[in-house]
Chain A
Amino acid sequence: MLKERIRVLIAKPGLDGHDRGAKVVARALRDAGMEVIYTGLRQTPQQIVEAAIQEDADVIGLSILSGAHMRLCEKLLSLMKDKDLHIPVFVGGIIPKDDAEKLERMGITRVYGPGTPLSKIIEDIHSLCGARR
């Protein structure tokens, strides 16, 4: 029987050391029936893209609190383009409104600020991946 599961790669790029937020999101996605690949702290964009390919992820979720979101996302998106990897990328963290808009224009699918309901994230992933699954 075909029982497909949405696979989400959750990564924490950059140098700050808190992954509580990332883990809360990871657990919520798991409880929503997804397979969540959690890669842990201090991942380089290169490592994240490699992992997403090896794991055949449907979505990448990034948690960025370091303030380096513009640089990290730019790097990640350009690496993805090089690898011809076209999957949605979510970013969660403390990101100023202007930057959030810039990121979305750059190619990040959604930016979630603090306090975003988890149900919203789950819903978005379902609606984005539903069509492919």
Chain B
Amino acid sequence: MNLTVQVLLKRYRCGDVRALAQLITLCENGANHFTEDFVEEKEHHVVGITGSPGVGKSSIIDELALRYVDRGERVAVVAIDPSSPFTHGAFLGDRVRMRKLSTKGVVIRSMASRGNGGGLAPAITSVLKLLSGFGFSKIFLETVGIGQAEVDVANVADTVILVLSPGIGDEIQLFKTGVMEIADIYVVNKADLEESKKLRTLVEQTVNQGKTEGWKRRIVGTSCVEWCGFEELEEAINEHLQYLKESGELLARRTRRRKFALISRFLRYVRETVEKVAVEDLTLEGLKKAICDDIIFGRENKKDENIYQGGR
């Protein structure tokens, strides 16, 4: 491990938010291996908030996070927005709707999806580990405004909340896809709007059908304009956490997250290796050989060293 990471980790362990932020940047830039051996996860609860663009994910987090701060929890928010596939730039705008939090000691980190198609960012599992190790007990994770197939959040969060709202136009689309099945809690937001009632009825008809054992999925109506429904939502989240702990499901979800982290990392490694394979060797055998060479010559480790050297 090089000096930069060592120094940062020392400051991180002393509770320095800036060091935390800089370590997150390192993870985003691909140098995340140190999180495996040198960061220790603490007790925490990751609440994933997903849903189509503009349904009110950030507004809901703004209100919800505040409630947990008032209960004495240490709260962090990770909000992911899409990177442009062409310029790789990103407009990260979730802070605009999280205005109350900026005065309450809540750490907010905006992340770009950096080409990741599942609604999260490549570094997400390392970043969650860093946040939990820093002492945040409640971590809200806002995904990219999803379309249809972006369901990675279910591999990473302990509790998944799907936010729906009227007037977005693609609810029916959502019902047809996997996204509708991944949530533990359904929020029908913008309850102040008349059409919200109809949507709620529709959700009630769809959710829990044919499902009898285990967690009974909850449906909550909220409004970020009239400030209603949040008590009920908080209750649902707490009940789900209780359920996770009692049923042993929490452990299962953590294992799922670790598997997901490993798979993501391996896929990235394979992608990079494929890029290095010569055109005439573009076969499974060729790839296997390239990976074996890599292992034999320990190139993976060396490369990591280089990345650490390159970090700030």
Q: Which A residues are within 8 Å of any B CB, using their own CB? A: 1-5, 7, 26-27, 29-40, 43, 47, 50-51, 53-56, 83, 85, 132
Interface membership of chain B positions 48-91, coded 1 if the CB is closer than 8 angstroms to chain A and 0 otherwise: 00000000000000000000000000000000000110011111
Say how far A38's CB is from chain B's closest CB, in angstroms: 5
* Residues A47 and B103 in contact in the complex (CB < 8 Å), given A5-B112, A55-B109, A55-B110: yes
Q: Is B108 an interface residue (CB 8 A)?
A: yes
Q: Is B312 an interface residue (CB 8 A)?
A: yes
Main secondary structure, interface of B, reads mixed
* Residues A3 and B114 in contact in the complex (CB < 8 Å), given A33-B88, A51-B95, A132-B312: yes
Cβ–Cβ contact A35 & B25, under 8 A: no
Cβ–Cβ contact B108 & A51, under 8 A: yes
Query: Complex Cα distance A51/B24, Å?
Result: 14
Cβ–Cβ contact A54 & B107, under 8 A: yes
Closest 5 pairs (CB-CB, A-B): A40-B96, A30-B89, A56-B21, A56-B25, A33-B89
Cβ–Cβ contact B310 & A2, under 8 A: yes
Chain B contacts for A55, CB-based, 8 A:
21, 108-110
Interface membership of chain B positions 1-29, coded 1 if the CB is closer than 8 angstroms to chain A and 0 otherwise: 00000000000000001100110110011
Say how far A6's CB is from chain B's closest CB, in angstroms: 9
Q: Which B residues are within 8 Å of any A CB, using their own CB? A: 17-18, 21-22, 24-25, 28-31, 83-84, 87-93, 95-96, 99, 102-103, 107-110, 112, 114, 272, 307, 310, 312
Chain A contacts for B29, CB-based, 8 A:
2-4
Query: Complex Cα distance A83/B16, Å?
Result: 11
Cβ–Cβ contact A27 & B91, under 8 A: yes
Query: Complex Cα distance A47/B84, Å?
Result: 27
Query: Complex Cα distance A73/B120, Å?
Result: 36
Extra contacts, 13 of them, besides A1-B30, A30-B87 (Cβ < 8 A), are: A2-B31, A3-B114, A26-B91, A27-B91, A31-B89, A32-B89, A35-B89, A35-B90, A36-B92, A37-B95, A40-B93, A40-B95, A132-B312
Cβ–Cβ contact B21 & A47, under 8 A: no
